């Protein structure tokens, strides 16, 4: 297995949280996808995958419809995607993806979490260079197709790593950020079931900490993840 998958298995970071948080996150992503490419799933690949993902997460249909309606309503504020960067205690790099309709509120909250938990909110570009931006697909394994065969099949479409996640009973594909559409199109045209398709930041180098040090970093990460405007938190700490 490659660096990307081993990192994800090592960190075991909380990325989705409880059911309410899952629905909130998916709802915002659906709204953003509709704003970008329209409400028709047949012509909006990103929306199509998010709807599939919402079904897998047992998100009520009315929640999905509400998120789509919100994107097309002139009375609703637009969500803006903003990436924040900083350092947790012990020099751990942190990236925070947000979707917000009030950036003033969001940055004030995030700065407060950093300040109260021994971290420092940085400027744009201060941390991002330490991470690779990847698209990550989780798909159902196909009978008779080995991982090395799948990797050879997908390498021309931008996939650079294929791994099996036994815990989730899924095959995980990592690819170039810009290759998202190509990979999705090939998977759909060749009958692969897509469980999820996301963008993730994977660190170029990881930090090993003591258990006590990890606890202080996780305290900050948990505060960030509990904020309703925060979509994802990534770090270079090995848990």
Q: Which residues in the chain land under pLDDT 70?
A: 1-17, 75-76
Residue pair 83/95 in contact (Cβ under 8 Å)? The answer is: yes
Q: Which residues of 195-209 are buried (b: 16+ CB within 10 A; e: fewer)?
A: bbbbebbbbeebbeb
The reply to whether 224 falls in a domain is: no
The reply to whether 22 falls in a domain is: yes
The reply to whether 30 falls in a domain is: yes
Output the domain CATH number for residue 32: 1.10.10.200
The reply to whether 167 falls in a domain is: no
The reply to whether 68 falls in a domain is: yes
DSSP string covering 27-47, please?
Answer: HHHHHHHHHHH-S-TTT-HHH
Residue pair 217/209 in contact (Cβ under 8 Å)? The answer is: yes
The pLDDT assigned to 72 comes to 83
Q: Domains in the chain: how many in total? A: 1
The pLDDT assigned to 13 comes to 40
The reply to whether 236 falls in a domain is: no
Domain region containing 38: 3-72
The reply to whether 150 falls in a domain is: no
The reply to whether 118 falls in a domain is: no
Q: Who's near 115: CB < 8 A, 6+ residues apart?
A: 121
The pLDDT assigned to 160 comes to 93
The pLDDT assigned to 10 comes to 41
């Amino acid at each position: 297995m490659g660096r990307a998958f081993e990192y994800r298995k090592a960190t075991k970071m909380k990325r989705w949280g409880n059911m309410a948080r899952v629905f909130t996150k998916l709802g915002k992503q659906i709204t953003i996808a509709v704003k970008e490419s329209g409400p028709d799933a047949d012509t909006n690949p990103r929306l199509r995958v998010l709807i599939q993902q919402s079904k897998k997460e047992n998100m009520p249909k009315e929640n999905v419809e509400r998120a789509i309606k919100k994107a097309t309503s002139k009375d609703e504020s637009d969500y803006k995607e903003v990436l924040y960067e900083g350092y947790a205690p012990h020099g751990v790099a942190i990236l925070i993806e947000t979707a917000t309709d009030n950036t003033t509120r969001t940055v004030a909250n995030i700065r407060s979490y950093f300040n109260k938990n021994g971290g420092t909110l940085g400027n744009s570009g201060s941390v991002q260079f330490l991470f690779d931006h990847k698209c990550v697909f989780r798909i159902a394994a196909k009978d008779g197709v080995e991982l090395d065969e799948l990797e050879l099949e997908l390498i021309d479409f931008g996939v650079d790593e294929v791994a099996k996640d036994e815990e989730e009973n899924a095959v995980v594909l990592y690819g170039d950020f810009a290759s998202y559409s190509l990979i999705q199109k090939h998977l759909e045209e060749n009958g692969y079931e897509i469980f999820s398709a996301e963008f993730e930041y994977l660190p170029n180098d990881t930090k090993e900490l003591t258990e006590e040090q990890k606890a202080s970093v996780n305290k900050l990460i948990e505060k960030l993840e509990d904020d309703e405007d925060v979509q994802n938190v990534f770090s270079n700490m090995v848990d």
